[in-house]
Amino acid sequence: MSTAAEEKAVEAPIDTEKSVNSASTEEHQHRAQNIDIETTANSDGLYVVKDTDLGLKLAKDGSTVLIPQPSDDDEDPLNWSWLKKHKAFFALLLPSLLTDWGMTWGTTMFEAQSVTWDMSIPDVARSISGGIFLQGPGGILAVPLIQRYGRLPVLFWSQVLGCIMVIVATFSPSYACFTAFRTLQGFVATSPQVISLSVVHDLFFFHERARKVNIWAFTFLFGAFFGPMMSSFLLSKISWELDMGVLAIWYGVSAILVAICGEETLYDRQKGVKPTSGASRISLLIGIAGWKAKGQSSLTTVSKHLVSVGIKPQLLLPCLFILVLFTWAIGIVTTVTQFIRPPPYLLDDTHASLFYFAPIVGGIVGEFFGHFFNDFLSNLYIKTHNGKYSPENRLWGAYIPCAFGIAAMVLYGQTLQKGLPVIGLGAAWSMMVFAEVVSTTAVSAYLLDIFPHHAALASAWLNFWRTTGGFCVTYFQTQWVAKSGAAVTFGVQGAIIAASFIFIIITQVMGRSWRLKFLPPAAEI
């Protein structure tokens, strides 16, 4: 440590040479197994990932340190079987899929709804703006409930309430009523995106997390395009009201899946106990077990921690880059039908539906790329730094997607401006989704590394900033294009993405010193 203040901030740092040389093997192993490796990494700036001399529990390869160190309790999620872990993880994926899927599902209905309500298409398109915006605050307000009552009940009720909101919206007699309940849908159904990082942290060790985060990021971003594609196909056969009914069915299926496969993963690692141990399945699901559990953080405490984490520069700056990137990405998905249906493209329902394969391909490529690239980055760093790992290394994974995002906006604008073949729009959209998946994985993995005991809080802020810019873009996107032309509009958006990347660079340079100076709040269970 370079300063007295920094030395004071470190609690029980690992001094490998001193520990090995001065302590007996038995004493050292006892001490090492009780060290909170993640807290030490937060204080010391580096994770000890590869080591055989510290007396720590290791992975099957005999050298990878298990972070966090698992307890000897069979109820500890880290000790669950591969099948049970992945069953719980699988139960999280459909709810995550439905968060953006559920909102963008309605983007293909604007033309039909404009006839129903005798309104212009741009005015009808604003029906989803409120829902997109409230995904951010909804995630923030879900965090205290997640930490106090558990992951499972919040996940379950989000799907039940989402189903109810969609049903009411379907039978709404007016545009105002429809918009109100679509807005509430966005508010109540967003929590899976917040819960996800907590569940990944609860279930998997440090060296396993990047791939799980990549799968989760692909899932919720994939939903933003697969949902509209399915909705568009249905609209060619049924009314928009029945189309919304199908979405309600999906929420119902998701609630049933959570009820069958979901697991409560909240575990008090400091005390080595599961707060809801012995509770019945139904009490876990509806939240009674979490309400009765003792020793968990209060709603007030979690709320204070939420604010404390949200203003840390090591979180705020990467999230601002995500804000900019997703603002323009959401702008594409919410306005694309207004560009591909009129001249010169004149895509009918079937071809407009097939057009959504473009972003799906980009998402699949992004998942495949991130699945291996993030491990390559971390393994290379560990190999060249004596078995230690710096979380800021994760952010190298944002460079390539940033370049793709910039190129995507330029290509999209030029294709529209010059009336080039529609494949240009598809290629641009595919590139943008690739950028979303890979950059979200890099930033999410970084935040999970630096806030391991506050995964839900960090994820909530990431979700908040991701959706904040997107809600307003429908109010000015088409008007901006009409006034300045597509080439200028989307070119400027690409330039803004490039400028915002400075937030990532600054975090890479300053992140470790910020983590030493701006320590996170006390760990929560």
The domain segmentation of the chain, as residue ranges, is 61-296, 297-524
The per-residue pLDDT for 8 is: 32
Average pLDDT of every residue of the chain: 87
Mind spelling out the 3-state secondary structure of 121-170? HHHHHHHHHHHHHHHHHHHHHHHHHHHHHCHHHHHHHHHHHHHHHHHHHH
Is 61-296 assigned to CATH 3.30.1490.100?
no
The per-residue pLDDT for 25 is: 36
Q: Is the pLDDT of residue 474 over 80?
A: no
Q: CA 149 to CA 167: how far, in whole Å?
A: 27
Q: Residue 39 corresponds to which tokens in the numbers above?
A: 């807290």
The per-residue pLDDT for 473 is: 81
Please tell me which residue, 260 or 236, carries the higher pLDDT value: 260
Q: Residue 294: count other Cβ atoms within 10 Å of its Cβ.
A: 5
The per-residue pLDDT for 51 is: 64
Find the helix or strand (DSSP H, E) in which 230 lies.
helix 206-235
Q: Residue 15: count other Cβ atoms within 10 Å of its Cβ.
A: 11
Q: Residue 161: count other Cβ atoms within 10 Å of its Cβ.
A: 18
Provide CB contacts within 8 A for 513, sequence distance 6+: none
Calculate mean pLDDT across residues 69-97: 94
DSSP 108: G
Angle 270-460-522 from CA coordinates, rounded to 5°:
30
Q: CA 255 to CA 194: how far, in whole Å?
A: 17
**Which is it for strands 388-389 and 47-48: parallel, antiparallel or unpaired?**
antiparallel
297-524 belongs to which homologous superfamily?
A: MFS general substrate transporter like domains (1.20.1250.20)
Mind spelling out the 3-state secondary structure of 184-222? HHHHHCCHHHHHHHHHHHHHCCHHHHHHHHHHHHHHHHH
Q: Is the pLDDT of residue 23 over 80?
A: no
* Residue 54 pLDDT grade (very low, low, confident, very high; cuts 50, 70, 90): low
CB 165 within 8 A of CB 244: no
pLDDT tens-digit profile of 269-324?
888 889 998 899 999 999 999 999 887 888 999 999 999 999 999 999 999 999 99
Calculate mean pLDDT across residues 206-228: 88
Calculate mean pLDDT across residues 123-141: 89
Residue 401: asked if its preceding bond is cis (omega within 30°), the reply is no
The per-residue pLDDT for 256 is: 97
Calculate mean pLDDT across residues 332-360: 89
Q: Is the pLDDT of residue 67 over 60?
A: yes
Same CATH fold assignment for domains 61-296 and 297-524: yes
Q: CA 154 to CA 266: how far, in whole Å?
A: 12
Calculate mean pLDDT across residues 368-393: 90
Q: Is the pLDDT of residue 167 over 50?
A: yes
Calculate mean pLDDT across residues 179-197: 93
Residue that is written with structure tokens 């899976």 in the block: 192
Q: Residue 313 corresponds to which tokens in the numbers above?
A: 């520069």
Calculate mean pLDDT across residues 480-500: 96
Please tell me which residue, 7 or 180, carries the higher pLDDT value: 180
The per-residue pLDDT for 37 is: 54
Q: Is the pLDDT of residue 27 over 60?
A: no
The per-residue pLDDT for 44 is: 56
Q: CA 466 to CA 132: how far, in whole Å?
A: 10
Q: CA 197 to CA 308: how far, in whole Å?
A: 18
Q: Residue 182 corresponds to which tokens in the numbers above?
A: 């679509």
CB 200 within 8 A of CB 455: yes
Q: Residue 377 corresponds to which tokens in the numbers above?
A: 């980055």
* Percent of the chain topping pLDDT 70: 90
Calculate mean pLDDT across residues 156-179: 96
Q: CA 287 to CA 264: how far, in whole Å?
A: 10
* Percent of the chain topping pLDDT 90: 61
The per-residue pLDDT for 511 is: 94
* Residue 220 pLDDT grade (very low, low, confident, very high; cuts 50, 70, 90): confident
pLDDT tens-digit profile of 437-464?
999 999 999 999 999 889 999 999 999 9
Q: Is the pLDDT of residue 5 over 80?
A: no
Q: Which residues of 447-458 are buried (b: 16+ CB within 10 A; e: fewer)?
A: bbbbbbbbbbbb
The per-residue pLDDT for 32 is: 40
* Residue 152 pLDDT grade (very low, low, confident, very high; cuts 50, 70, 90): very high
